[in-house]
């Protein structure tokens, strides 16, 4: 894969490269391959292994990101940022990730209607949402949804569609948020996207809580936790446990609340998930 990527760039440029430039490009392509290999594992049972590996490579990744921006390698930059956003999200590097993504998406070569741009827009929207910048998140995610739909990329559509529903909930449009989330759940069933489905169940549980239906909230959270355990995602499990603990607290069961909250904290600490530890 690395050789194929390198050959593609050489063919595109059709110009001689200095030994220094060749070394820089090889370095950049190696870390692009690493990030894209890590990306799917950040949602499953191997997420701790890959989080640690990416953390160890932070210095190299930052050097590659800077070099790609200096060279205005828009396609490679956008792909690399889109692959890294989940790592930035879990480890609390929200502002850093947003800065990189803004810079990459503003490059002249990143304006095409491509899958890579759609993924980067989704990444930027997720990080904006994490920092409660909902107006910006809405714009980024809506563009990603539109682009994925234009390109008939159902699998890439799942992420921004569900997250846009979540953003609209936070913006106060509960009906529209529910509609998008339910539409996304239908798509998840079609594609067999269990990780995304588990996260969407969590969002529906939040709606049930707003509507005062704690029984439904608990049922949805339990389903989310079971599904998250099947795919091995500690982050989703921790979210469900934390919400279950809060519900138990509201229902007067302090012992269960403390037990579930502590289990959620333990999982979040294993991940180094700053956001969830705080919650």
Q: Which residue has the higher pLDDT, 197 or 25?
A: 197
CA distance 151 to 74: 19
What integer pLDDT is reported at residue 2 of this predicted model?
45
Flag whether pLDDT at 156 surpasses 80.
yes
Question: Confidence band (pLDDT; 50, 70, 90) for 7?
Answer: low
Question: Confidence band (pLDDT; 50, 70, 90) for 9?
Answer: very low
Percent of the chain surpassing pLDDT 90: 78
What integer pLDDT is reported at residue 275 of this predicted model?
81
* 194 in Cβ contact with 230 (< 8 Å): yes
Question: Confidence band (pLDDT; 50, 70, 90) for 14?
Answer: very low
Give the ranges where 92-133 is alpha helix by DSSP (H).
Answer: 94-106, 115-130
Note the pLDDT tens digit of each residue in 62-76: 999 999 999 989 899
Say what the pTM is: 0.88
What integer pLDDT is reported at residue 16 of this predicted model?
56
Flag whether pLDDT at 86 surpasses 90.
yes
DSSP structure class, residue 113: S
Neighbouring residues of 213: CB distance < 8 A, sequence distance ≥ 6: none
DSSP string, 219-253: HHHHHHHHHHHHHT-HHHHHHHHHHHHHHHHHTT-
What integer pLDDT is reported at residue 3 of this predicted model?
47
* 234 in Cβ contact with 48 (< 8 Å): yes
Flag whether pLDDT at 132 surpasses 90.
yes
Percent of the chain surpassing pLDDT 70: 94
> What's the chain's average pLDDT?
91
Entry field: residues in the chain: 279
What integer pLDDT is reported at residue 112 of this predicted model?
87
Note the pLDDT tens digit of each residue in 133-149: 999 999 999 999 999 99
């Amino acid at each position: 894969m690395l050789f194929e990527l390198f050959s593609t760039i050489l063919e595109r440029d059709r110009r001689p490269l200095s030994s220094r430039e060749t070394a820089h490009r090889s370095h950049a392509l190696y870390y692009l391959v690493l990030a894209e290999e890590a990306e799917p594992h950040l949602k499953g049972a191997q997420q701790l292994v890959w989080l640690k590996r990416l953390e160890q490579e932070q210095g190299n990744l930052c050097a590659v990101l800077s070099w790609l921006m200096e060279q205005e390698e828009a396609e490679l930059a956008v792909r690399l940022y889109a692959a890294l956003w989940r790592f930035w999200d879990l480890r609390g590097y929200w502002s850093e990730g947003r800065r990189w993504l803004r810079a990459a998406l503003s490059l002249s070569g990143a304006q095409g209607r491509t899958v890579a741009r759609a993924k980067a827009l989704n990444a930027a929207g997720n990080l904006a949402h994490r920092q409660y910048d909902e107006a910006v998140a809405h714009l980024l995610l809506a563009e990603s949804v539109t682009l994925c739909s234009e390109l008939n990329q159902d699998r890439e559509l799942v992420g921004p569609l569900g997250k846009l529903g979540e953003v609209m909930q936070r913006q106060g449009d509960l009906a529209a948020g529910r509609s998008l989330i339910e539409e996304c759940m239908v798509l998840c069933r079609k594609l067999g996207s269990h990780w995304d489905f588990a996260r969407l169940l969590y969002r529906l549980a939040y709606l049930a809580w707003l509507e005062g239906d704690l029984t439904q909230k608990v049922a949805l959270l339990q389903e989310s936790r079971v599904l998250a355990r099947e795919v091995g995602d500690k982050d989703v499990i921790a979210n469900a446990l934390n919400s279950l603990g809060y519900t138990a607290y509201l229902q007067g069961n302090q012992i269960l609340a403390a037990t579930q909250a502590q289990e959620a904290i333990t999982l979040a600490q294993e991940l180094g998930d700053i956001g969830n530890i705080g919650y």
